[in-house]
Amino acid sequence: MHTTILTLGALKEAGYISKDIKTELRDNLIAALQSKRTIFPQMHGYQDTVIPQLERAILSKHNINLLGLRGQGKTRIARLMLHLLDEFIPVVAGSEINDDPLAPLSPYAKELIAEKGDQTPITWLHRSERFFEKLATPDVTVADLIGDIDPIKAATLKLSYADQRVLHYGMIPRAHRCIFVINELPDLQARIQVALFNILEEGDLQIRGFKLRLPLDLQFVFTANPEDYTNRGSIITPLKDRIGSQILTHYAADIKTAKKITHQEAEKLEDRACTVHVPELAKDILEQIAFEARQSPYVDHKSGVSARMSITAFENLVSTAERRAILNQETTTAVRFSDLMGMLPSITGKIELVYEGEQEGAAFVANHLICEATKTLFESYFPKIEKLKKQDQQTPYDAILAWFNEQRSFELADESSNETYNALLLNISPLKAFIQTYQPNIITEDLPFIMEFVLWALVEFKQLSKSKTAEGMSFNDLYNKLLSGL
């Protein structure tokens, strides 16, 4: 429909047909499915699970409850539903509640049309303005959501409190013909949830004794965390019964999908002080940390581990390398394995610990998760390290361990230049030969990272020892500490 149409009469002549929002979403979804158009392009990992359920709910014209742990993209899904709305819809000019010119609801719109007829002015509302979002907090009131009597309006217009024109509409009436999202629904007090009953079913609004027959046209999308049901509140049963579809969301099922989400959401700074190369293995370890956290005995599984942890950790990882390059006045650098320690603030702030984790401390748990991720991924790159071996049994790691046995110490400084860092690692000839044997296709830029990765893994598998020094990390033969102590 052309937005140059500015009167009710011209709208009728153009043959405009009103649709309720659920029909609008349904029709546009059918058209998108028929044309094979991707409807939710940014929701990686949901193509075979959440999205088909969501499409069925829209086809069924249901209000929707998205149930899942934090950081699973529930609000993002609701916002992407905007793309299934018509680009523009006509609205009675000056209407507070987006009155449809062909089906007005408010006294204002009805009176205006009765007065001006086909000359009633109309405006056009873009779909970007048809999204309302409210975080459910305990202090939300019925007046906030539905409305209340406005004494100032009554005094200004010299109206009786019995006149409907003294009403001030809340967020829900103002979202007429829009998508309305209530986040964290269980946090909404039970008496406020009761106020939503009639809106979901009959369309009645009850404000301070007024019973208004306003058949509001909304697409409700609620979000909730299953942990909320026990910690802070619950969705009362009658309200839950009025929500057509409850859809369970989930975290990425594999590292490949998780990497896509992190890459999409991480802050892309165009004005970084230098070029930072991030090896794919570094990205894999970063995502594996989240997978380890979701099954760690130190982390509260009910609370979940948000995808935001990986996103902010990636940003910190790149910034750690960037900071070092700035200090060394370098224009290019690469992420080092030790740079993973720069992600600790992003990890400790994003995980909820159980009692055992609190006893150990957040920093210990974060370090533990990095170590577990290292051990998990190591065996997908290199031969398994046996805990016990027979006497005189040879392993692929013997030459590396022998090299460290001959050294007094080997230290990698956190802030060393690229040239110094690379030279130190490449000097370990058995380690370089080992990687060339088992990972011959590693690109040159990734070689130092994967060499350090092997050293950290050998420490975790009790083949080498490491200790923190004033400038960085020292790697030694496993028995070096014991012998030096004696």
155 — pLDDT class (breaks 50, 70, 90): low
Q: How far apart are CA 436 and CA 421, in angstroms?
A: 19
CATH of domain 398-485: 1.10.10
Residue spans of alpha helices (H) in 21-158: 21-34, 50-59, 74-80, 107-116, 142-145, 151-157
CA angle at 13 for the pair 9 and 19, rounded to the nearest 5°:
90
Average pLDDT over residues 475-486: 64
pLDDT at 320: 94
Structural domain boundaries of the chain?
8-248, 255-378, 398-485
Comparing 304-313, 320-329, 472-481, which segment has the lowest mean pLDDT? 472-481
Pick from 464, 35, 16, 65: which is nearest to 242 by CA? 65
pLDDT of residue 157 exceeding 90: no
Kindly report the pTM of this predicted structure: 0.85
User: pLDDT higher for 301 or 427?
Assistant: 427
Q: Which CATH architecture has domain 8-248?
A: 3-Layer(aba) Sandwich (3.40)
pLDDT of residue 200 exceeding 50: yes
pLDDT at 206: 65
Through-space distance between the first and last CA atoms of the chain, rounded to whole angstroms: 87
Q: How far apart are CA 230 and CA 66, in angstroms?
A: 17
Q: How far apart are CA 294 and CA 95, in angstroms?
A: 49
Residue spans of alpha helices (H) in 182-331: 190-194, 197-201, 228-231, 237-242, 255-265, 280-293, 307-327
267 — pLDDT class (breaks 50, 70, 90): confident
Pick from 234, 328, 335, 231: which is nearest to 282 by CA? 335
pLDDT at 112: 93
Q: How far apart are CA 246 and CA 67, in angstroms?
A: 7
Average pLDDT over residues 214-242: 79
pLDDT digits (tens, 9 = 90+) for 40-65: 888 999 999 999 999 999 999 999 99
- Ramachandran bin of 18, using left for φ above 0, alpha for ψ from -120 to 50, beta for the remaining angles: beta
Average pLDDT over residues 70-88: 92
CATH of domain 255-378: 1.10.8
pLDDT digits (tens, 9 = 90+) for 163-173: 666 677 788 88
Comparing 89-98, 232-241, 404-413, 475-484, which segment has the lowest mean pLDDT? 475-484
User: pLDDT higher for 154 or 444?
Assistant: 444
**Which residue in the block uniquely carries the two structure tokens 């998205």?**
66
User: pLDDT higher for 128 or 387?
Assistant: 128
248 — pLDDT class (breaks 50, 70, 90): very high
Residues with Cβ within 8 Å of 364's Cβ and at least 6 positions away in sequence, in order, are none
Q: How far apart are CA 177 and CA 306, in angstroms?
A: 32
Q: Is 8-248's fold the same as 398-485's? A: no
pLDDT of residue 353 exceeding 80: yes
User: pLDDT higher for 47 or 159?
Assistant: 47
pLDDT at 230: 46
pLDDT digits (tens, 9 = 90+) for 105-120: 888 899 899 999 999 9
Average pLDDT over residues 178-182: 94
Within 13 Å of residue 150, how many CA atoms lie on the same side as its CB? 16
Helix axis angle for 429-438 and 447-460, nearest 10°, is 100
pLDDT at 205: 66
pLDDT at 225: 86
Residues with Cβ within 8 Å of 56's Cβ and at least 6 positions away in sequence, in order, are 245
